[in-house]
Amino acid sequence: MQLALFDLDNTLLAGDSDFQWGQFLIKKGLLNAEDHLAKNLGFYEDYKAGNLDIYAFLDFQLKPLSEHKRNELDALHREYMEQTIRPMITDKARALVEKHRENGDLLMIITATNSFVTGPIAKEFGIDNLIGTTPEEIDGEFTGRVSGTPSFQTGKITRLKEWLAERNQTLDSYEVSWFYSDSHNDLPLMKLVDKPVAVDPDHTLKSHAESAGWPVISLR
């Protein structure tokens, strides 16, 4: 069996689910537009530059989850899926996932975005396995803090190895391992798998992929 790993934001999605979740909450009047947007854009620029302080970002990103009851958040997310996420899923992205599914591969989305935002998106793709940054919960409600290792940069490797170890596996347990990503932040994991694929890549990743002879594709 082969293992097919997919980044989510700007890879399987034609956009960033985390950034757009903040935009959605602003439109719903649940976040201060001016304050939130400025900070969100700042973090996004840091992410693209490769110097994001992941813990500072998560303090910012997860705080809104702690300010609403879980049933309210779930209702908001259903609306967010319909209005924002489904239009960001291209036919090419769905076709790529289906190609690996038809091949009998084990499918996984591995993303830095928190699992509350990304869980329903993985289900939309019919992908059961998700590694996302885990928001801490107490009695079913979010605290605004992170639980465990954020799945960002080398944290994706840590979380993936933990997931595999729970199954008494390693990457070598699979005939071939794939990883599709748009971002140079994912280079640590891309260098670890058998078949890294750059998808609509940023400039840094595109340059690295071309010099390393990795495939460069577009799902847009």
Residues that are catalytic: 7, 9
DSSP string of 58-122, one letter each residue: HHHHHHHHHTS-HHHHHHHHHHHIIIIIGGGB-HHHHHHHHHHHHTT-EEEEEEEEEHHHHHHHH
Instruction: Say if residues 3 and 108 touch (Cβ distance below 8 Å).
Output: yes
* Pairing state between β 195-199 and 177-181: parallel
HSE at residue 10, side-chain half, CA atoms within 13 A, is: 18
The residues pairing with 89 across neighbouring beta strands, listed in sequence order, are 13
Instruction: Give the sign of the dihedral formed by CA 117, CA 119, CA 125, CA 130.
Output: positive
DSSP for residue 128: -
